[in-house]
């Protein structure tokens, strides 16, 4: 099974279930409230761990109750937390998630300690990258830290997976150190500046990114599945049709599943990647049928049943 190093965000999530999202200036009564561990990095790490991967985490939390809870949750998931630093000067990251009854959501993130990760923190965590097969990162932490980690990972022959969320311009140095880029359709539009109305437009936009050395651009399309783009073409992988309850961790669980099932001896083969993406689609389809972020992520034995 793969050994995965996740460099990413750790947040305390507070979720509010609503009949519908409020308009500007409007007050809407909630149906229910819950809190849990979250953040894109956390969700991706837990997804991979629950599918049997060995997972280590590079990140930062505050010296507060939120940070203590996040570390406790990760350790309960058998995730190596030895490279998560506790910063006494900034609070742990927080996210407020507004969820409609149909599963659509809006999220407010206060980054806190996540955005205090510096180059020296990455250098101190090189051992976690050395031990990993795959390194994953997102954009809920500083891009310079991601760039430094990916540059080192590539020097060490690791496979790098970048989830550019929330969407920001990607520096050339980071593109050149990325093997697999996994944006959703909105993020792809922001990154490329292209109007993406259909698979052909996405393929054209992806060709801009593939020219920088990226091997695969996998654009997740929600209920439409995913589009795998590579130098020799593109292939659409359909999703399973399900009734979504909460889409909060859908993209994160997709990446966790992708990394856990990627065969490092075959990952250059587009046919193998199609099989892995199909599995990741199925896994995230299970996630969106449940409420919550981490609470919605299945364990491997649930897939078998």
Known catalytic residues?
252
Backbone angles phi and psi of 24, in degrees to 5: -60, 130
Question: Taking a C-beta distance cutoff of 8 angstroms, is the pair 58, 83 a contact?
Answer: yes
The pairs formed by 167-176 with CB atoms below 8 angstroms and a separation of 24 or more are 167/139, 167/191, 168/139, 168/143, 170/143, 171/143, 171/147, 172/212, 173/147, 174/143, 174/146, 174/147, 174/150, 175/209, 175/212, 175/213, 175/214, 176/212, 176/213
Q: Distance between CA 37 and CA 92 in Å, rounded?
A: 11
Question: Smallest Cα–Cα separation from 161: which of 275, 296, 41?
Answer: 41
Per DSSP, the three-state class of 21 is coil
Strand 30-38 to 180-181 pairing: unpaired
């Amino acid at each position: 099974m793969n050994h995965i190093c996740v460099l990413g965000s750790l947040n305390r999530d507070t979720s509010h279930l609503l009949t519908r999202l409020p308009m500007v200036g409007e007050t809407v009564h909630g149906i229910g409230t819950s809190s849990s561990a979250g953040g894109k990095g956390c969700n991706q790490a837990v997804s991979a761990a629950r599918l049997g991967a060995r997972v280590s985490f590079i990140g930062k939390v505050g010296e507060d109750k939120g940070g203590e809870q996040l570390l406790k949750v990760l350790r309960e998931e058998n995730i190596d937390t030895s490279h998560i630093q506790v910063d006494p000067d900034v609070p742990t990251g927080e996210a407020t998630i507004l969820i409609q009854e149909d599963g659509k959501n809006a999220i407010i993130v206060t980054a806190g300690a996540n955005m205090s990760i510096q180059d020296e923190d990455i250098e101190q965590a090189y051992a976690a990258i050395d031990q990993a097969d795959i390194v994953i990162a997102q954009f809920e932490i500083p891009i310079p830290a991601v760039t430094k980690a990916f540059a080192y990972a590539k020097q060490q022959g690791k496979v790098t997976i970048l989830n550019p969320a929330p969407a920001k311009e990607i520096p050339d140095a980071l593109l050149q150190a990325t093997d697999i880029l996994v944006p959703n359709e909105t993020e792809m539009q922001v990154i490329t500046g292209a109007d993406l109305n259909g698979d052909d437009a996405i393929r054209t936009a992806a060709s801009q990114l593939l020219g920088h050395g990226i091997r695969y651009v996998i654009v997740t399309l929600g209920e439409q599945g995913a589009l795998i783009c590579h130098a020799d073409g593109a292939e659409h992988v359909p999703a399973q049709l399900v009734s979504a309850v909460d889409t909060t961790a859908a993209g994160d669980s997709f990446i966790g599943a992708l990394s856990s099932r990627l065969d490092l001896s075959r990952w250059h083969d587009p046919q193998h990647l199609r099989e892995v993406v199909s599995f990741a689609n199925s896994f995230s389809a299970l996630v969106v049928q449940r409420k919550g972020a981490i609470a919605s992520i299945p364990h491997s034995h649930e897939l078998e049943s």
